[in-house]
Amino acid sequence: MRSVNVSGILVENIILASAYLQREVKVDFFLPKNVVDPAAMSLLLINDGQNMEELGLESILSELYKENEIRPLLCVAIHANKDRKHEYGVAGHPDYLGRGGRAGLYTSFIRKELIPFIKKTYVLDSFREKAFAGFSLGGLIALDIVWSHPKEFTKVGVFSGSLWWRNIDQAEERYDDDKHRIMHQRIRHGFYHAGLKFFFQCGNMDEMMDRNNNGVIDSIDDTLDIIKELEAKGYNREKDIYYLELPDGKHNVPTWGRAMPEFLKWGWGLRVES
């Protein structure tokens, strides 16, 4: 384990050997210093940890703590590797090209190896709450893990999520948005769980595709349709769901870095009443 003290944040880097993934996983920890009550700290897991330097997570957290805008939060950034398109996805439901076939193993790594390691390493029996966030495919599997384990997680952040994930090629004549988008079906056939909160971010420049020719790019359509599915389950659009659409947002790390403070303040913000 390597530790670096940076502007109010303790950054630690570890290599965790995973029996489920059959590989070593690099993980970065961003821990606020001088936490008075560790039991009051929340846990935020973040996919694609290899992008956190470009995203500016350490600086974002430092600024938010400096301005007393968020509660204590242990951020754990999990690096992906060459198997990213197979480890990310929807557990048990590979897409039409067979991608995402190891998503179930990745879910087991998170729940049965990483979280117990975190608790043991930081001597914490529990957290105030646990959340998951991710970008693109990493956002898809973050949503799947939180949705599938509502007793363990309370919040999810999905940045430009790959919610198009489908079980047949959209070029096929029989393709139907209403039937073949995997995550939409997973939510539709699932159940309402009180206490879950959802953050979605999209950019108007995420992509150019518009498969139904309605003048709205697919990434926005797919996200808004997920929100509709959640509302149909009983989630309140005003209380349980936050949607951030950036007019100049692109499908890239700098855009997600701009959205990250909004997500953190939404999830763990400190509101000082006058």
In a domain, 124, yes or no: yes
At 5, the pLDDT band (50, 70, 90 cuts) reads: low
Residues ≥6 apart with Cβ < 8 Å to 141 = 47, 87, 88, 89, 90, 91, 100, 103, 106, 107, 134
Phi, psi for residue 239 in degrees, rounded to 5: -100, -35
In a domain, 273, yes or no: no
Which stretch of DSSP H or E encloses residue 17? strand 9-18
On the CB side of 20, CA atoms within 13 Å amount to 16
**What is the DSSP secondary-structure string of 90-121?**
-TT---TTSTTTTHHHHHHIIIIIIHHHHHHH
Domain housing 72: 2-268
In a domain, 174, yes or no: yes
At 84, the pLDDT band (50, 70, 90 cuts) reads: very high
Say what percent of the chain tops pLDDT 90. Answer: 82
In a domain, 274, yes or no: no
Q: What is the pLDDT of residue 274?
A: 33
Mean of per-residue pLDDT scores for the chain: 93
Residue 2 has pLDDT above 70, yes or no: no
Q: How many domains does the chain have?
A: 1
- Residue 138 is given by DSSP the state H
pLDDT digits (tens, 9 = 90+) for 101-147: 999 999 999 999 999 999 999 888 889 999 999 999 999 999 999 99
pLDDT digits (tens, 9 = 90+) for 221-257: 999 999 999 999 999 999 999 999 999 999 999 999 9
Q: Is the dihedral of CA 210, 215, 217, 218 positive or negative?
A: negative
Instruction: Read off the pTM.
Output: 0.94
* Maximum distance among all Cα pairs of the chain, rounded to whole angstroms: 59
Q: What is the pLDDT of residue 7?
A: 59
CATH of residue 34's domain is: 3.40.50.1820
pLDDT digits (tens, 9 = 90+) for 10-36: 999 999 999 999 999 999 999 998 787
Residue 69 has pLDDT above 90, yes or no: yes
